[in-house]
Structure 1
Amino acid sequence: MVISLRRWLRSVKYLLLFAVLTYTLYRTFGLLEAYMFQEDKYRIPDGSAVKVFHAGIPGSGETSSLADRLKLFYWYGE
């Protein structure tokens, strides 16, 4: 069996070129995503946002049990 060193090196060269271009494209998409979507995921919401874990109407002092909240969760399918 004859192994051509030039052919093997050419294959390795193309494999490395493919890997470098793939990595460059991956990093470019990451930079593009960071440029387009610059929002803070953990910021405090604005407007009339309500905390999910507080049951009942805010300010009324009305609370519901865990079973009622679970029943509504399954009823609405959310």
Structure 2
Amino acid sequence: MLFISPTEELAMERGEQKGIQQGIQREQQLIIRLLNRRVGEIESSLIDTIRTLTIDQLESLGEALLDFSTVTDLEQWLQNKPES
């Protein structure tokens, strides 16, 4: 049986958390790029709001943005976003 010290376990947990955070940031960046292509350059305040979304909300936004044609569609979605 392999022994993992508490320090090693903590390091693995931190690495896992860092990986999860990096994945979320990549998804945020992808959604923002897709929105910019779909509806034009979006304001920094909307970008800040997108960065507060949960992973489930980001996935929902990724699907919903396919139906957007204006920034107003994004704003309405953010106002009525699904709870997760």
Normalised by the length of structure 2, the TM-score is: 0.43
Q: Which structure is richer in relative contact order (CA contacts within 8 A, separation 6 or more)?
A: 2
Query: Rg larger in 1 or in 2?
Result: 1
TM-score by length of structure 1 reads 0.47
As a proportion of its length, which structure holds more helix? Answer: 2
